Amino acid sequence: MKPVVVHKPIPDIKWPHRVVDNFFDEIDLPWIKEAFEVGYEDIQRKFPDCFSDGKLRNYEEIKDKSGNKNLLLTGFSAYVAFFPTGRVSATIDEIWKESVKLYPYRKNKSPDRKDFFSCIELNIYPPNLQYGRHMDVFYKSFTGVIYIGEKGEGTTLISGDRQVDVTWKDNRGLLFMNVDEGRRLKKDLNDELSTWHSYENNSDDVRYAVNFNMTHPSDMPSVMSLFNHRDKTLFEPKKISRVDYPSFGPILVNHRPVPKKGN
């Protein structure tokens, strides 16, 4: 089993973070890759209008195919609940302890708590999607983004006037903790401790990435509502063609142009 390799923090990025290689082990990684392949085939059957010649169309061509004029279709995702954190727990603890010293969280986010909910979300993004500068939503107390596949574009980290690109590598993860509630609401672009980041897919192929998240117990209703909206069969027996892979559903966002990088 390949060990997790933890890189030193990037000096220009002032908010707590780590880049780790070999995030998933030799059992989980092949399962995740096959889940993406099965999911891709499944969404092609479910959403044929989003495909052309067996390939997912560009973002501009699928964004209005949600069936609701108020929502944009930005890709497809599937959830796996209760994902174990043991493989990267030491790294999570380091980031967590650094963060609680920096951010005045209103909720109790003591590193001694043992009741945070963890899950992973498998995301399939279309070609030519640009998702600009943003901070994570409130229910994501802790975030990881893990790249799947040999080619792709990583994540741009932004700290004040500094920007650094995390290079894409198969099974490489970017880990960080969300900011305090005040910073999330203020959205100060010049604050070097605000966890601004962005990502793009400028290729003609899909982008496979896994989100790993931990959620404070008080925010669990929001997470469960999102789970149920994305996959209405999450808590029902699934009829699947191969083995027990999660079911993919559309990622829908409020109708507004997806911001371009740096905006």
Report helix, strand or coil for 75.
strand
Q: What is the pLDDT of residue 258?
A: 43
Q: What CA–CA distance (Å, rounded) separates 61 from 155?
A: 24
The tens digit of pLDDT for each residue in 193-210 reads 999 999 999 999 999 999
In this structure, of 75-79, 144-148, 183-187, 259-263, the range with the lowest mean pLDDT score is 259-263
Q: What CA–CA distance (Å, rounded) separates 197 from 159?
A: 9
DSSP states along 92-148: HHHHHHHHHHH---SS---TT----EEEEEEEEE-TTEEEEEE---TT-SEEEEEEE
Q: Which residues partner with 217 through β-bridges?
A: none
CA distances from 35 to 80, 121, 237 (A): 11, 11, 17
Q: What CA–CA distance (Å, rounded) separates 205 from 216?
A: 35
The tens digit of pLDDT for each residue in 51-74 reads 999 999 999 999 998 877 788 999
Q: What CA–CA distance (Å, rounded) separates 95 from 188?
A: 22
Q: How much is the CA Rg of the chain, to the nearest whole Å? A: 18
Q: Let me know: does 220 contact 117? Beta carbons within 8 Å.
A: yes
Helices (H), the chain: 28-46, 59-62, 89-102, 181-186, 220-230
Q: 262 — phi, psi (to 5°)?
A: 95, -10
- The structure's pTM equals 0.90
Q: What is the pLDDT of residue 255?
A: 61
Q: What is the pLDDT of residue 225?
A: 81
Mean pLDDT of 13-36: 97
Q: Where are the domains of the chain?
A: 5-254
Going by their DSSP bridges, the two strands 17-21 and 51-52 should be labelled as unpaired
CA distances from 126 to 137, 160, 201 (A): 22, 29, 7
Q: Let me know: does 73 contact 252? Beta carbons within 8 Å.
A: yes
DSSP states along 228-243: HHH-TTTTS----SSS
Mean pLDDT of 2-14: 97
Q: What is the pLDDT of residue 243?
A: 56
Q: Let me know: does 201 contact 126? Beta carbons within 8 Å.
A: yes
Q: What is the mean pLDDT of the chain?
A: 90
- Residue 259 reports pLDDT greater than 50: no
Going by their DSSP bridges, the two strands 207-215 and 55-56 should be labelled as unpaired
| Nearest partner of 111 among 95, 88, 132, judged by Cα | 95
Please determine, looking at this structure, whether the domain spanning 5-254 carries the CATH number 2.60.120.620.
yes
Query: Predicted confidence band at 235 (pLDDT cuts at 50, 70, 90)?
Result: very low
The tens digit of pLDDT for each residue in 74-109 reads 999 999 988 999 999 999 999 999 999 999 999 999
